[in-house]
Each structure stands twice: as C-alpha cells, then as structure tokens.
Amino acid sequence: MTAPLPQPASPGRAPASFADELRALATLAGPLAGANLVQMAVFAVDVIFVARLDPVDFAAATLGVFLYSVVLWALLGLATACAPIIAAELGRRAHAVREVRRSFRMALWLSVLAALPFVLLLANGEAILLLAGQDPRVAARADAFLDILLVALVPSVAAGVMRTVAATLGRPAWALAVTIMALMIGIAANWALVFGNAGFPALGLEGSAIASVVTTFAMLAAFSAILLLDPRLRRFRLFGRWWRPEWSRLGEIFRLGLPIALAFTLEGSLFGGAAILMGLIGVTAVAAHAVALNIAAIAFQIPLGIAQAATVRVGMAYGARDPAWIARAGRAAITAGTGCMMVTALAIWFAPGVLVSAYLDLDAPANAQTVPLAITYLAIAAMFQLLDGAQVVLAGALRGLQDTRVPMLIAGFGYWGVGFATAVVLGFGLKMEGVGIWLGLAAGLLAVSALLLRRWMRRAQLGLLPAGAPL
C-alpha cells in the first residue's frame, strides 16, 4: 500500500488562480513547444541534403531514419519518465536535492542500459529491411547509414533526459536554445560532409550520418555544461556520485516509463501503418499522405510541448497533495492545448493550398493528382486537430499523476483496435481508399481522447489522487 505523502514544506506555492496557473504553464510550455518545432527542422535538414543524392541513397536514409527514430522515441518515453517523479518531489519539498539527483542519475543509467540492446538490433539493419521486402541495394545502403548513426543513439537519449530534467527544474528555455544550436550545426555539418564543401571530403549518405552524430554529441555537451553551470541547476549537483546505483529508483522509473514507451510506439506505428496502407493504393496516395501528415505533425508539436509542461505542473501538484491544484493544472493544460489546436485547425481548413505549396508546386503537371489528394486529407486533419491536441495533453496530465499503465492500454485499443481497423474497413472494405484511411486515423484519435478524458474526469473515483490528500 502506498504511504501517504508528506505535506509540502512551503504551503501556498500553488498558483492562487486559474489565470496564474495558465501563466505558469505558458512559461514552461512555450520554450518546449518552440524546441519541438525546431527539432522538426533538425530532422528535415538531413532529408533536404540527402534528397539531392541518388534515389537509392534517399530511400536508404528514409528507411534508416525511420528505424532509428522509432527506437529513439520509445527510449525517450522510457527514460524521461523521471519528469513526473522529479516534479512530485519538488511539489513535496522545493529543495529535494538528493531525490532529484537520484532520479536524474537512474534515468541516465536506464537510458544507457535500455539503448544498448537496440544498438545491437539495429546494427542488423540490412537483415531487418530485407525481411521487410525492401530492395537489396536500398537495404545495404541503409545498413551503412545506420552503422554510423547508431553511434548517436545512447548520447541522444542521454541528452533527452538532461533536457527533460532542466525543464522540470524550471529552465525550459535551455531546450530551445540548444535545439537552435543543433539546427545550425546540422546545417553546417551536412553542407560540409555530404557534398564536400569547405575542404571536407564528399561523403554523401555517410556524411549525413556523421553530421547527425556530430550534432548529437554537441547537444549532449551543451546540456552537460548547462546542468553544471546554470545557477539554478548546479545546486542539485546532478552528476554527483554518478557511479552509485539506486535500484529502487531505477525500477520506479522503469515501471512508470515502460508504458509511456509502449504508448509512444503504438501511436507512432499507427501512422506508419497508415503509410503502408497508402502504399497499397498507389504512389500518388503515399505522396499526398506524406505531405498532409507532415503538416499535421508540425502543428502537433505545440500541444506536445503543452503536454510536457502539463506533466510537470500536475506532477508538482500531485507531490504537494493538492487536488484543487491538480484540477487547475489539468484544466489549464487542456484549455491551452485545445485552444492552440483550434487555431491550427482553422488555418489548415481555410488555407490548405498555401500549406501544400510549401511542399509541392501546385501548378506542376506532375502534381496534378497529388495536390488535390493532399488538400482532401488536410480537410480531415483539420477536423481531428482538436482530438490530437486533447489526447496528447490528457496523456501528459495523467503522467503527472504517475498514471501510465491504463493510458497505454487505452492507446493500444484506440489506435489499433479502433483507428487501424476503421482505416482498413473504410479504406478497402468500403472502397474509400485514402479518405477512409484518414477517417480511420480520426476515429482512433477520437476513441483515445474520449477515454483519456473520462479517466481524467474520474481521477478521484479511480484512486489516482495522492494517498492521504483531501478530496
């Protein structure tokens, strides 16, 4: 049975009003959303440079990055589960130096221990892609690309943990600053190494992988320096006794983080599965799907930042054993997330052609079929923007309550039991093709957001509030 949490050391630290909570949330979420958007640009840099190589190398980079990013996203979900734990410690006691340090240290340990098996797995990238029926030439080039890119996996997860901890401890602006730095380094390194500029050899596809490794280590070094030198962060002495295990805390992060990692994987694989379904329709459908999905993914980075902030704000309220603060923090996050997505939904609905023109020449004969399809898919994307924003923010708020197992089950049921099944039935059973697949995605998001909202609204009845807290 969970022991009652102690009373907060500094009563009254909770924001006095909803407006105060909304301001606190915005202060935290703004830089995180900005960092997420810049991170999208970091990923795009590799695509832009490699796209100028031959088609085999471009396909190899696309597949290699897909395998790598699926693993990285899951590992980040696992290790950054330290955020709600640290937030709860700060809610209990503002100067919880030892507890914060333990959580950070064990999250770093976990990131390394969990990443190593995946390094060995992805080192066999060629065999994986051949089993998936890919072209042997593409599989071989993707394997060469992955062999270099995998050097960045462990430091990338470690940098993600550092970014999360810095934001949780009240320094979210560093995430934006370091990501902007990474974008600049990525552009320069790709320019130099892919095509052989500034006296460097022209390494092509391998040069792009090396550029990613260089960028990742630069981010790791920057975050390490920030944790050591920032006045607010250095008092936690986060790298102190880094060799000392805290097995109970590592187990706690693992138990909380594994469902997060699985939920991330279930959501990401739904959209990957949708791309495979589009491939059964034709090349035009795949191209239109890719454009529409990329636009939706850019808009998604804003509520994702709000969700990351919601985990911290709700987590602090959870640690303070303050149900009123929990309710206020959750309401502020849901309001902000759906409000932002309403704006993006209106932009997508009223100006889809403008957005598509950033990717495709609207007047080119070669795009005569792709453009209308992309605009049609965007009309559906506009409708599910609110659902997408709601589900990610609700999941973040529930993580603040350290509730991750049932939301993971909801994700599995909603995304695959409802979303993918509906996409198959509508797309192929009812011959709606790509429109049916996108309606299936919307159905999955609707199911997940509705079930997560119900769980959030019934948090007291379900025993999700901290033990001993007044109802």
443 Cβ contact partners less than 8 Å away, ≥ 6 residues apart: 418, 419, 422, 423
Write out pLDDT tens, residues 25-35: 999 999 999 99
DSSP H helical ranges for 17-152: 18-50, 55-79, 82-92, 97-122, 125-131, 136-149
pLDDT at 471: 52
Q: What is the pLDDT of residues 255-272, one digit of tens each?
A: 999 999 999 899 888 887
Q: Which residue from 154, 149, 82 is spatially nearest to 117, judged by alpha carbons?
A: 154
Q: What is the pLDDT of residue 469?
A: 59
Q: Are 146 and 204 in contact (CB under 8 A)?
A: no
pLDDT confidence of residue 8: 35
Q: In whole angstroms, how far apart are CA 314 and each of 35, 209, 374, 454?
A: 21, 38, 38, 17
How many CB atoms lie under 10 A from the CB of residue 220? 20
Low-confidence ranges of the chain (pLDDT < 70): 1-14, 16, 94, 468-471
Which pLDDT score is estimated for 4?
Answer: 38
Quickly list H helices, 320-369: 323-350, 352-356
pTM above 0.85, yes or no: yes
Torsion angle, alpha carbons of 383, 388, 390, 392, to 10: 180
